[in-house]
């Protein structure tokens, strides 16, 4: 996210800032916030003025980002953004079926599932690191070293704070991931029902077309013979052509039309057969 660690209403503006300006902005960057916190007070608020305490503070501050804690509860969060996306997916499930829309919706579902699953996995790793860090901090606080500020926050307390933040985000995203997967299953079931309804409607249409085709097949020969025998069999009136000329002309045109229709209808299969034939010739020549 280009170094933006804190989320607020100015997020879009923060993303446009140059990196050198962004890292010094305490409203956007964790490094800027840490510099602001310690530039004025120094080590006065530290329980122990040690490098270890500073490293724990640095790790816990960065590992909890991105968050909106410093901006208050009214600031947007990552979970809130994904919640809006999931609600939009659920709304789109009940839209009228359109060709291609279901495939696009499923792809959007899969992308969102992958993103949230990746965040859940990363937060699980973060929790593992924080649990190990808490054990080290417990031993570190036991060491005999000068106490800088008895009222200051201990390293173990700081790690507990970070664990509570990450656990909350992890729990929310895990719940959202389960909800999203259940929603995707419901989408598949809904689309299956719609496809069954469409298949039933198509079957009814096919039966109607079949009945119409049967009637056509019955009356087509009758129409042909009635038309043929209704002609003047001794020749075409007022011309020098006889019925042999009629069959040569109409028969040839009918053959050409039928042949071109078959070629057009089976052009894909014929193209595949032609490619196979060419490959066989090429392999035999080698």
**pLDDT tens string 263-286:** 888 888 888 888 888 888 888 775
Closest to 170 in 3D by CA, of 109, 114, 131, 116: 116
Whole-angstrom distance, CA of residue 107 vs CA of residue 113: 10
Number of CB atoms found within 10 A of residue 27's CB: 15
Mean pLDDT of 45-70: 74
pLDDT confidence of residue 121: 92
Closest to 63 in 3D by CA, of 128, 111, 112: 128
- CB contact burial 162-195 (16+ within 10 A = b; e otherwise): bbebbeebbebbbebbeebeebbeebeeeeeeee
According to DSSP, residue 154 is labeled P
Mean pLDDT of 135-147: 75
- CB contact burial 36-62 (16+ within 10 A = b; e otherwise): eeeeeeeeeebbbbbeebbebbebbbe
pLDDT confidence of residue 77: 65
Counting residues of the chain whose pLDDT is more than 70, the rounded percentage is 72
- Of the ranges 30-34, 153-157, 257-261, which one carries the lowest mean pLDDT score? 30-34
Whole-angstrom distance, CA of residue 217 vs CA of residue 3: 74
Does residue 191 register a pLDDT over 70? Answer: yes
Mean pLDDT of 163-167: 88
97: three-class secondary structure by DSSP: coil
Residues with Cβ within 8 Å of residue 190, at least 6 apart in sequence: 93, 94
pLDDT confidence of residue 1: 44
Q: CA Rg, the chain, in Å?
A: 38
């Amino acid at each position: 996210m280009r170094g933006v660690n804190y989320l607020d209403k100015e997020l879009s503006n923060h993303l446009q800032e140059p990196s050198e300006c962004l890292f010094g902005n305490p409203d956007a960057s964790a490094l800027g916030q840490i510099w602001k916190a310690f530039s004025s007070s120094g080590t006065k608020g530290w329980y122990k003025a040690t490098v270890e305490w500073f490293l724990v503070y640095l790790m816990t501050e960065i590992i909890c980002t991105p968050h909106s804690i410093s901006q208050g509860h009214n600031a947007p969060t990552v979970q809130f953004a994904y919640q809006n996306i999931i609600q939009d997916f659920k709304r789109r499930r009940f839209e009228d079926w359109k060709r291609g829309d279901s495939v696009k919706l499923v792809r959007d579902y899969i992308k969102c599932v992958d993103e949230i699953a990746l965040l859940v996995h990363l937060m699980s790793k973060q929790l593992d690191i924080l649990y190990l860090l808490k054990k080290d901090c417990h031993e570190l606080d036991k060491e005999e070293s000068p106490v800088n500020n008895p009222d200051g926050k201990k390293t173990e307390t700081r790690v507990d704070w970070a664990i509570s933040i990450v656990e909350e985000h992890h729990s929310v995203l895990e719940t959202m991931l389960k909800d999203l997967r259940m929603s995707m299953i419901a989408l598949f079931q809904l689309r299956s029902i719609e496809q069954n309804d469409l298949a039933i409607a198509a079957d009814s249409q096919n039966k109607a077309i079949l009945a119409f085709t049967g009637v056509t097949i019955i009356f087509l020969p009758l129409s042909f013979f009635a038309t043929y025998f209704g002609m003047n069999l001794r020749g075409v009136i007022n011309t020098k052509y006889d019925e042999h000329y009629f069959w040569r002309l109409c028969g040839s045109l009918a053959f050409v039309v039928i042949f071109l229709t078959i070629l057009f209808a089976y052009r894909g299969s014929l193209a595949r057969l032609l490619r196979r034939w060419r490959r066989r010739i090429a392999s035999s020549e080698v």
